[in-house]
Amino acid sequence: MKDSLFNAIETKYLRSYFIKKDSELGVDRIKSQRSQRNFQEKLLTVSKQKRQVLLSWKTLVASVISSLALGALIAKFTIQPVVIYAGARSVDPVSGSTVSSNVTIDAKKGEQANSGLVIQGDRLQLPGSTPAWLQVVQLASSAADEVVIERLDKGLRLRIFLAKEAGDRALALRLALGLRPEVSGWVTVNFSDK
C-alpha cells in the first residue's frame, strides 16, 4: 500500500519534509548507541532491584511460615482445654452442700462400661454419630444438675454434678457410668481415644 499511496514525486517531497522534521525533533535520538546503552544500564539496575525484592519476599514468606509453625508447636503444649458446653439446671443448695465425693472415670477406646455402653473415644466430636458417648452426654444433660463439656487435645472431658437425691434418670446415668447409686457430687468422665 505504501508503494501505491503516493506517486514518486509526492513520495520524494513528503519524505524530504519528514526527514527534515524528524531531524529537527531529534527522532533518531532513541536509535543512538548512547540511548541504547543508557537503557541497558537502567534495565540492569531494575533487574537487580527486582531480584532483591523477590529475595526479600521469599525471606518474608519463610519467616511467616516459621513463626506460624513455632506458634502451632507452642500452642500444642500450652493451650488449655476448651469448654464447648456448660449448662446448669437447678443447683439446689442441699445437694450443693452435700457433695460426698469427687469421682474421675477414664473411658478409653473400646472400653466396656458397666452399663454395657461401648465408649468409642476415637470418634469423639460434637455433634457426633457415636451413640455411646453421645448417650452419656444426653443422659448427663437431662439428669445432672450441672454439666460441663470440655474439648481436650485428643478427647472430651465431661464434668457432671450429681445431686444426692435424684430421680430415675440420675440413677440410669450412675449405672451407665458404673457408679454406685449413692455417689453424689462432681463426677469427671474423660473420653479419650488413646
Binding site for other proteins (CB under 8 A): 1-2, 4-11, 13-18, 20-22, 25-31, 35-36, 38-40, 42-44, 46-47, 50-51
The answer to whether residues 121 and 130 touch, using CB atoms and an 8 Å cutoff, is no
Cell numbers standing for residue 190 = 474423660
Residue whose CB is less far from other proteins, 57 or 69: 57
The answer to whether residues 158 and 177 touch, using CB atoms and an 8 Å cutoff, is no
The answer to whether residues 89 and 173 touch, using CB atoms and an 8 Å cutoff, is no
Q: At its nearest, how many Å lie between other proteins and the CB of residue 149?
A: 51
Residue whose CB is less far from other proteins, 12 or 154: 12
Dist. CA 172–CA 161, nearest whole Å: 14
Residue whose CB is less far from other proteins, 49 or 104: 49
Q: At its nearest, how many Å lie between other proteins and the CB of residue 27?
A: 5
Residue whose CB is less far from other proteins, 18 or 57: 18
Cβ neighbour number for residue 28 with a 10 Å cutoff: 11
